[in-house]
Each structure stands twice: as structure tokens, then as C-alpha cells.
């Protein structure tokens, strides 16, 4: 097998791992990775405005609003006006949301993060450079994405742009 085929197979394996994980997450929780990320952020940081959530999960505010709308419809989060500033609306995790988090499988990007953080600094730098190069070779350098490994979200964002 030549080097090009090895590279393409590696890329395909990454995409397939993301797809398999997204399906498993959906089957266990009924959520997409981006929705789980919002719930995890609320669990970690407590109540936040949609703008604050968007900053934490590195998504556009409009996308985050849509995610919160869906999560609210599923009764996993609530929105409530602030006590001191009634102009602000805070998103809060519900008990149902916490229960979903308790049974959710570890996110693919969390597993990657654990392994990536255990690499030596030079290995991290090398890996980032290689991945950025691959991204550029696939004309994907300018695509706006959150730092999560979720095939469904990538497809949704591409559809939103077209």
C-alpha cells in the first residue's frame, strides 16, 4: 500500500470513529455531541447566558440558541430571568439534564483530549501542525467549527452555510 492510501485510510478511520461515536451517543442519550457539550458546560460552570455558553463551546450564538431551544423542548435545561438584572436570561441544567449526563458515554473529543494532553509538548506541536496541514490540503482551513469531534454537527454546519 502506498503512502497516499495509508493517509486516506487514516482520515477515513477518524471520520468513521466520529460517526460511530455520534450514533452511540444518540442511541444512549438521544442527543448530538453539540447538545451534550452544552449540557456539560452548564454542569461545569453553572447557569450561563446563551452568549456565555456559546463562548465556552466555541459556537456561534445563533447555533447555540438553536441548541438551547432544543434542549429546553426536551426539558433538559430551563431559561430564567436574572434576579439582579431582569434583562439577562440564564440557562440552567435540569435534573433530567443531569440524569442524561450521568448515563452519557465519554465524548470522543474527551478521550482524544486525555490522550493528547499526555503527549510531550513537541509531539502535540507536531500533531497540530500535521492536522492543520491536512485540513489545508482538504480546503477545510477556513471552515468554522467547534472543538468537538461530531460528524453530525459538521454536516449541519455545512448545510447551514448553503
Least confident among 26-35, 37-46, 128-137: 26-35
Range(s) of the domain holding residue 154: 3-161
- What is the count of structural domains for the chain? 1
When pLDDT is cut at 50, 70 and 90, the band that residue 1 belongs to is: low
* CA pair distance 156, 40, nearest whole angstrom: 21
Q: CB of 94 within 8 A of CB of 101?
A: no
148 Cβ partners below 8 Å, 6+ apart?
33, 34, 37, 57, 107, 109
Q: 3-class DSSP state for residue 85?
A: coil
Angle at 103 between CA 99 and CA 108, to 5 degrees: 125
Chain segment 66-125, per-residue pLDDT in tens: 999 999 999 999 999 877 777 889 999 999 999 999 888 777 777 888 999 999 999 999
Q: Is the pLDDT of residue 151 over 70?
A: no
The domain spanning residue 152 has which CATH number? 1.10.10.10
Amino acid at each position: 500500500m502506498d503512502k497516499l492510501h495509508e493517509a486516506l485510510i487514516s482520515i477515513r478511520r477518524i471520520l468513521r470513529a466520529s460517526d460511530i461515536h455520534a450514533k452511540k451517543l444518540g442511541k444512549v442519550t438521544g442527543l448530538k455531541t453539540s447538545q451534550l457539550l452544552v449540557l456539560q458546560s452548564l454542569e461545569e460552570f453553572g447557569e450561563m447566558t446563551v452568549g456565555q455558553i456559546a463562548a465556552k463551546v466555541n459556537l456561534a450564538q445563533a447555533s447555540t440558541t438553536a441548541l438551547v431551544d432544543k434542549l429546553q423542548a426536551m426539558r433538559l435545561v430551563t431559561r430564567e430571568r436574572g434576579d439582579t438584572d431582569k434583562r439577562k436570561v440564564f440557562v440552567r441544567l435540569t435534573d433530567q439534564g443531569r440524569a442524561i449526563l450521568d448515563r452519557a458515554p465519554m465524548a470522543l473529543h474527551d478521550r482524544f483530549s486525555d490522550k493528547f494532553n499526555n503527549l510531550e509538548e513537541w509531539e502535540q506541536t507536531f500533531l497540530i501542525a500535521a492536522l492543520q496541514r491536512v485540513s489545508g490540503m482538504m480546503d477545510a482551513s477556513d471552515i468554522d467549527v467547534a472543538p468537538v469531534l461530531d460528524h453530525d454537527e459538521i454536516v449541519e454546519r455545512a448545510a447551514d452555510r448553503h
